[in-house]
Chain A
Amino acid sequence: MLTCKDASRLLSEGQERPLSLGERLGLRLHLWMCVSCRRFEQQLALMRRAMRALRRRAETEADTAELPIAARERIRRALSEGRGQPRD
C-alpha cells in the first residue's frame, strides 16, 4: 500500500516519465481513497499550466523589448576587438 509520501512522489515523477503499469495501479488505488493526494494531483497540473502561462506572459513582455543602446555599443566594441584577435 502506497503512503501519501510515495504517492506524491509518483505523481510528480509522472510529469517526468511514463509510470509503469504497477505504479499506475498502485497510484489509482491510493488516489481513490485519498482526497489530499487527489488535490495534490490537481495542484501539480495547475502549477504546470501556470508555468506555461508565465512563459507566455514573459514572451509578451519581451515582444517589444530592445537591446539597450549601452549594451549595443559594448557588444559592438567587443566585436571589433574580437575581429582583430578572436577570443576563446
Chain B
Amino acid sequence: MEEAPLNTRLDKPAAGSPETWLDEHGNALYRYALVQLRDPHRAEDAVQETLLAALVAHERFAGGASVRTWLLGILKHKIMDQFRRQVREVPLDDVDDASELDDPADDGDFAPSGHWRNTLSDWGNPQEMLERGEFIAFLQRCLDALPQRLAHLYWLREVLEEDTETICKEMAITPNNLWTMLHRVRLGLRRCLDRTWLKGLSREGT
C-alpha cells in the first residue's frame, strides 16, 4: 500500500489506477447499470466488464473527459452488448420473425375484415391511472410475461429511449422488422393490461 501511484506525471493526472476506479466509481456504475438492466447480477457483470475494458484501454484514455464520464461511456457500450447478446440469442431471420409475430397477435385482436374483434375498453383518465401506481405495477408484470427478445427491444426503445436507427444497427434487424415487433409488444401489453389491471378495477367496482 506504500507503492507510489503509477501515473503521477502531469499528462495523466485523472486516470488513477483501476483499484481507485472501483472504489470511486463502482457504485455509480452499478446504479446506472441496474436501472438499465434491471438485474443485479447482470449489472455486476457489466461493471466488471467495464472496468476490465477500462484497464486495457487505460493507456488510451485521453484525460479530456472526467474518469467517471469515460467509464460511463464504456459501460453504455457494455450494456448494449448485453442487450445484443440477449436479442440475438434467439436466432430467427427477419422473414420468419415478422410472420411469426404478425399472425398470432392479429388473430387475437382483429377479425378477418381487419376490424377489432371487440370494441376497446376505455382506460379512463391517464393522469389518474399513472398516479394510482398500480397501473405501472401491472405494466411491469405484463412486461415480464413477454417473450424475452421482444421485452428487450421494447425496453431499449421505451426506457433507454434509443431510436430506430441505433436499435436496428445494434441488433442487426430492419426498421420494418423492429416496428412490427414493437407493434406486437404494444398490442400484447394492451391485451394483458385489459385482462389483468382493468378487470381488477371493474371487480373493485371503481
Contacts and interface: CB of A to CB of B under 8 A. Distances in A.
Given A16-B175, A51-B158, 19 more contacts: A5-B109, A17-B179, A42-B126, A45-B126, A46-B130, A50-B130, A58-B34, A67-B27, A67-B29, A67-B47, A72-B22, A72-B26, A74-B48, A75-B48, A78-B51, A79-B19, A79-B22, A87-B52, A88-B52
B31 A63 contact: yes
Given A49-B126, A50-B139, A5 B26 contact: no
Given A65-B30, A72-B22, A46 B51 contact: no
A46 B35 contact: no
A54 B134 CA distance: 11
Contact of B35 (A3, A5, A15, A55): A55
20 contacts: A3-B113, A4-B116, A5-B115, A17-B164, A36-B116, A39-B120, A39-B122, A40-B120, A47-B190, A54-B159, A58-B159, A61-B34, A65-B27, A74-B44, A75-B47, A75-B51, A76-B19, A78-B48, A83-B18, A88-B52
Closest 8 CB pairs of A and B: A3-B114, A51-B158, A12-B183, A71-B44, A36-B120, A67-B30, A39-B120, A5-B114
A35 interface: yes
B202 interface: no
Contacts of A47: 139, 158, 186, 189-190, 193
Nearest to A87: B52
Interface string A43-71: 11111111111110111011101111001
Contact of A4 (B30, B40, B110): B110
Contacts of B40: 68
Nearest to B155: A51
Interface of A: 3-6, 8-9, 12-13, 15-17, 35-37, 39-40, 42-55, 57-59, 61-63, 65-68, 71-72, 74-76, 78-79, 82-83, 86-88
A61 B36 CA distance: 12
Contacts of A45: 126
B115 A68 contact: no
Nearest to B110: A5
A51 B35 CA distance: 13
Contacts of B179: 12-13, 16-17
B48 A43 contact: no
Nearest to B194: A43
Contact of A71 (B47, B52, B121): B47
A86 B189 CA distance: 45
